[in-house]
Amino acid sequence: MMRLAALFMVTGFVAGCATVVPRNVVPERLADEAELAGMPNIRVWGDASAESFAALSMTKGSRGGSLVEARGLSERQSREINMLAISGGGDNGAFGAGLLVGWGEAGTRPAFDLVTGVSTGALTAPFAYLGRSRDPELKEAFTRYQRSDIYDPGLVTPLLGSGLVDSSPLEKLIARYVDDRFLRDIADERRRGRVLLIGTTNLDAQRPVLWDMGRIAMSGHPQALKLFRKILLASASIPGAFPPVRISVRAGDRTYEELHVDGGVTQQVFVSRPSLVVRDGDLARRRAVTHLYVIRNGKISPEWEAVDAGIFSISLRSISTLIKNQGIGDLYRIYAKAQIDGTDFNLAAIPSGFAATREKSFEQGYMQALYDEGYRSGFQGYPWMKAPPGIANKTNPPAFRRTTQALSLPN
């Protein structure tokens, strides 16, 4: 993806001659009220207020307004709430996939109450959300395919106007797995109170958007499956390389189009406010112990590389360094809030000693090696880091401060 971004810089001057299909842009004053026709309240701004997030938790058709109520937790009972956040990382997503499958086969992977995903993490998250029954498909998705199954490497055409390459192979790959049955399974889990959120970036607004995929699946709308697939594609569409995904919305009595791209543009990894999981004021809520697992599909330690003095090498290295440090910044923010809230923080990342390399993106050999690395770690018991790099790797406070009076992680 970084090589494509560098190529975009070289050929960008040609794009000025491109023909782009015009769209009716949502006016700024209507941005907050734009909704998808027939599917209200299926998304929220990633930087929205706590009240906006709380509204999503009250899902019509579920067995309760919140996860804890849906699971029947009483005042005398206590339980654990497990949250999983999966980052972007392109073909490095094979690490997270392997970690999850190995963890599942070890028999210690919990059923996650809240799962979030961005970019390649968005493609992993629905499988993790559905549990171990989908592990064979998760493995296949990150070990069977190669570059030509993600985008057409022979079609590098800035004259298309919106992207350098054709992302229709990835669109078809998503459709291969996300079918009507897949959607029904997602809906069933949402009715049980579990939450799946996928992040995209609204380019017009320069803001993250979080989509409640379970609510989309539950809607019964004839376009629900198509929208579900489009959101996954949008979250994985790096701008400049892949064309953005156009999503039609209604505001007032008019139809508009939004442009959505890779969620990693605004946040490499995110954790939603747990008001989506446990409603404020619930006595049982204060007895819940919360565990957060973050999978960073990349290395978080500096990596030495002798950089050529040419513009392409400098640009490529600078972009990759920027993305790495943006991701680490997201981890710091999430960790700080977890400490305030008494949440048990757990971080996994590609080991610094992993030495396999690839010449091009999405090489099968590289992805298989990375998947195997993740699988071994998950199966043998991954040594979860209790803090991001640069912070003393100590355990969280005893019992993680079992009261969750201030429980709300950043977006």
Q: pLDDT tens digits, residue range 104-132?
A: 999 999 999 999 999 999 999 999 999 99
Residue 350, classed as helix, strand or coil, is: coil
Give the C-alpha separation, 341 to 290, whole Å. 9
Share of the chain above pLDDT 90, in %: 55
Name the DSSP class of 300.
-
> Can you list the pairs that 10-16 forms with residues at least 24 positions away whose Cβ atoms lie under 8 Å?
10/312, 11/156, 11/158, 11/164, 12/158, 14/158, 14/159, 15/158, 15/159, 15/161
Structure token pair of residue 284: 């049982």
Q: What is the pTM of this model?
A: 0.86
Burial of 106 (0-12, 13-18, 19+ CB in 10 A): middle
Q: What is the pLDDT of residues 288-309, one digit of tens each?
A: 789 999 999 999 888 788 888 8
Q: Residue 404: pLDDT band by 50, 70, 90 thresholds?
A: very low
| pLDDT tens profile 341-371 | 889 999 999 999 999 988 888 899 999 999 9
Residue 236 has pLDDT above 70, yes or no: yes
Cα-atom radius of gyration of the chain, to the nearest Å? 21
* Separation in Å, CA 289 to CA 83, 196, 282: 11, 20, 14
88 within 8 A of 119, measured Cβ to Cβ: yes
Nearest CA among 247, 244, 272 for reference residue 47: 272
Length of the chain measured in residues: 411
Q: Which residue has the higher pLDDT, 48 or 216?
A: 216
Domains along the chain with CATH numbers? 28-380 (3.40.1090.10)
Catalytic residue numbers?
Answer: 119, 262
